[in-house]
Every structure is written in structure tokens, then in C-alpha cells.
């Protein structure tokens, strides 16, 4: 899985931030490694005002093998919160999409044959 981190001009410590984001994303999406080929992460400071509360934004796009890409975004007061919010949204979206594609909800229940249990 490739992970590409892009930052806007208003972001400081880009190298450290990119290494951190890469590590966090690999850990968060470890269970999807067979389905996700690439993740693009875009971190930006939308109002570029150092003195203000700042509106940080994180957009993530996951490219899936043999499927359409998924994109999510999250706004927050800090880059950390924006990243974590987008990461959570992406995991839920992947769970939902891949679950539907692979029919994970259509599995047999362990309770289905409860009356055939040996006594």
C-alpha cells in the first residue's frame, strides 16, 4: 500500500508530519492492506492565519483494487484532530464498502443451527 502525504504552504514541520501521518495510516488501515493500493492524504490550513483558531482540514482518498476510490474529509481546530477524524471516517467507509462487496453481512450465524447442537 502506497501512502502519499501532501501539505499546503501554511503547514509547518512538513517532514515530521508526513512521517507521522504515514505511520499512523499504515497502522489504522493494516486490515485493509489487501484491498487498498494507495492512500492520498491532503492536510491544509484553510484560513492560513497563525493567530486565529484556524480551520484545519484533512482529505483522504483510498484507491481500492478493482473498485472505485473512496474519499473523506474532516475539519477540526488542529491538524491532529482533522487527521484522526478523517482516518476514522475512512475506516468506517472501507468497512461498509468492502463488507457489502464481499457479503460479510450475509455470513451464516453461529446461532443458525442452534437446534442441531449435540447434547
* Domains assigned to the chain: 2-103 (3.30.160.100)
- For the entire predicted model, the pTM comes to 0.76
β partners of residue 70: 62
In this prediction, residues 80-86 reach a mean pLDDT of 94
Given this model, what pLDDT does residue 41 score? Answer: 94
Please compute, for residue 32, the number of CA atoms within 13 A of its CA located in the half-sphere on the CB side.
26
Average pLDDT along the chain: 82
Asked if 26 and 48 count as a contact pair (C-beta separation under 8 A), the reply is no
- The pLDDT confidence band at residue 98, using thresholds 50, 70 and 90, is confident
Which pLDDT tens digit goes with each residue over 50-62?
555 558 899 999 9
Q: Is 39 exposed, middle or buried (0-12, 13-18, 19+ CB in 10 A)?
A: buried
* DSSP helix/strand/coil, 51: coil
Residue 83 has pLDDT above 80, yes or no: yes
Residue 28 has pLDDT above 60, yes or no: yes
In this prediction, residues 22-27 reach a mean pLDDT of 92
Please compute, for residue 77, the number of CA atoms within 13 A of its CA located in the half-sphere on the CB side.
3
Amino acid at each position: 500500500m502506497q501512502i502519499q502525504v501532501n501539505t499546503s504552504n501554511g503547514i509547518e514541520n512538513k517532514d515530521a508530519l508526513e512521517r507521522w501521518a504515514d505511520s499512523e495510516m499504515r497502522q489504522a488501515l493494516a486490515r485493509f492492506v489487501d484491498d487498498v493500493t494507495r492512500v492520498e492524504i491532503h492536510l491544509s490550513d484553510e484560513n492560513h492565519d497563525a493567530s486565529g483558531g484556524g480551520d484545519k482540514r484533512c482529505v483522504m482518498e483510498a484507491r481500492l483494487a478493482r473498485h472505485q476510490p473512496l474519499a473523506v474529509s474532516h475539519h477540526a481546530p488542529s491538524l491532529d484532530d482533522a487527521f484522526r477524524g478523517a482516518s476514522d471516517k475512512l475506516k468506517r467507509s472501507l468497512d461498509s464498502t468492502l463488507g457489502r462487496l464481499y457479503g460479510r453481512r450475509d455470513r451464516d450465524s453461529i446461532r443458525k443451527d442452534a437446534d442441531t447442537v449435540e447434547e
